[in-house]
């Protein structure tokens, strides 16, 4: 799946979980950039993304993600597996 | 003769660290957020926290490496955690969220989503590149001996030795946690802000409707002590 398609698919998930209707999803976006991106929101975010793509991240994969760009790369890799 | 020794926590300390995290979450009340938010019972919570600690993920409140232990004559008396926020360019809340996502049963997520609005109302972001104090606990029979103060002092020494350029350390506590507030104030922390939830239902999930943010300027405190000793 193309990175742009993945971005389009994760954008509504981010907006819904983080309750930010106009949140712009970029590769550089990280938890430090969004108020209230707490552990609970992050947990729900990852869970919704796993459901949306029908994938399950390994803990090591999750702990390597520094920003949305990393997340998209890992989703892309997992979809090719 | 009783001698207190301070050491880093190891895998063997997981049962005590689990107790520390649970008691710190309760902050002297009977409200345990792992139970109110995720709908788990105490046995399930103990197992969940133990499993997450076993992963040995560094730089967050669920990291064994973040904890110091106070021992007296071989008995574990107290523990306290602290870490450098964003040490690996990943916020500690993300690392904790990853662990929760990985280990929590799926059925907990629906309940957690319902409570998010109420818990977020008291959320205070951790500031990157500052030290953060996490969970602390003293066994009942060892209370009144300033062990948390001693652990705080040792934690700051250890963290500043490792990261000498960092000058600020923060602690977030619920306002009902008077013993911790006194400990941190005695250790040179000052209240920098408070957050009050406007959502009354927050009290159904967390120990209080009010959170306090405390900060200590490490170099300024050292300077004060040096001036007093002159």
Task: List chain A domain ranges.
Answer: 3-80
The pTM score is: 0.93
Residue B230 half-sphere exposure toward CB, CA atoms < 13 A: 6
Closest Cα of chain B to A59: distance in Å? 6
Q: Is there a contact between B109 and A43 if contact means CB atoms under 8 Å apart? A: yes
Q: Rounded distance, CA B114 to CA A71, Å?
A: 25
What was the pLDDT predicted at B2? 73
- Write out the residue range of the structural domain in which residue B201 sits: 4-229
| Chain A contact present for B95, CB below 8 A | yes
Which residues of A fall within a CB distance of 8 Å from B25? none
Give the closest of A36, A43, A66 to B90, CB-based.
A66
pLDDT in tens, B123-133: 999 999 999 99
Enter the ipTM. 0.95
Interchain proximity A41–B97, CB inside 8 Å: yes
Q: What is the pLDDT of residue B1?
A: 62
Nearest to B97 among A30, A46, A66 (CB): A46
pLDDT value at residue B226: 75
Out of B94, B99, B102, name the one closest to residue A31 (CB).
Answer: B94
Q: Name the domain count of chain B.
A: 1
The residues near B125 (Cβ < 8 Å, ≥ 6 apart) are: A35, A36, B93
pLDDT of residue B18: 98
In a 13 Å sphere around the CA of B203, the CA atoms on its Cβ side amount to 8
CA distance B115 to B122: 12
Contact A44 B109 (CB under 8 A): yes
Task: Enumerate residue ranges in chain A where pLDDT < 70.
Answer: none
**Chain A with chain B: Cβ pairs closer than 8 A:** 78
Q: Which class is domain A3-80?
A: mainly alpha
Q: pLDDT value at position A1?
A: 79
| Interface contact A62-B100, CB threshold 8 A | no
pLDDT computed for residue B213 by the predictor: 98
Q: Which residue of A has its CA nearest to B108?
A: A44
Could you state, in chain order, the average pLDDT of each consecutive group of 10 residues for chain B (230 residues)? 90 98 97 96 97 96 97 96 96 96 94 92 94 97 95 97 97 96 96 96 96 94 73
Tell me, what CATH number does B79's domain have? 3.40.630.30
């Amino acid at each position: 799946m193309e990175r742009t398609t993945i971005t389009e698919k994760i954008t509504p998930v981010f907006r819904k979980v983080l309750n930010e209707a106009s949140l712009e999803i970029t590769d550089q976006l990280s938890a430090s950039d969004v108020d209230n991106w707490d552990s609970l929101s992050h947990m729900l975010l990852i869970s919704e993304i796993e459901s949306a793509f029908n994938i399950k991240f390994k803990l090591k994969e999750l702990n390597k993600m520094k920003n949305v760009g990393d997340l998209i790369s890992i989703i892309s890799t997992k979809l090719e597996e | 003769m009783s001698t207190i020794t301070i050491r880093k926590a190891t895998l063997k300390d997981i049962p005590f660290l689990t107790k520390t995290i649970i008691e710190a979450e309760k902050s002297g009340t009977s409200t345990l957020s792992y139970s109110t938010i995720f709908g788990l019972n105490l046995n399930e919570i103990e197992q969940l926290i133990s499993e997450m600690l076993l992963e040995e993920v560094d730089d967050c409140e669920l990291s064994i490496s973040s904890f110091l232990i106070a021992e007296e004559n071989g008995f574990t008396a107290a523990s306290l955690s602290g870490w450098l926020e964003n040490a690996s360019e990943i916020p500690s809340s993300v690392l904790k969220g990853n662990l929760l996502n990985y280990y929590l049963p799926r059925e907990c997520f629906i309940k957690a989503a319902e409570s998010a609005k109420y818990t977020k109302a008291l959320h205070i972001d951790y500031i990157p590149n500052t030290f953060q104090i996490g969970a602390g606990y003293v066994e009942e029979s060892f209370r009144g001996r300033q062990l948390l103060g001693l652990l705080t002092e040792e934690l700051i020494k250890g963290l500043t030795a490792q990261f000498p350029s960092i000058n600020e350390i923060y602690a977030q506590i619920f306002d009902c946690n008077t013993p911790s507030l006194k400990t941190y104030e005695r250790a040179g922390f000052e209240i920098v802000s408070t957050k009050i939830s406007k959502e009354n239902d927050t009290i159904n999930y967390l120990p209080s409707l009010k959170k306090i943010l405390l900060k200590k300027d490490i170099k300024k405190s050292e300077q004060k002590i040096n001036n007093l000793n002159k």
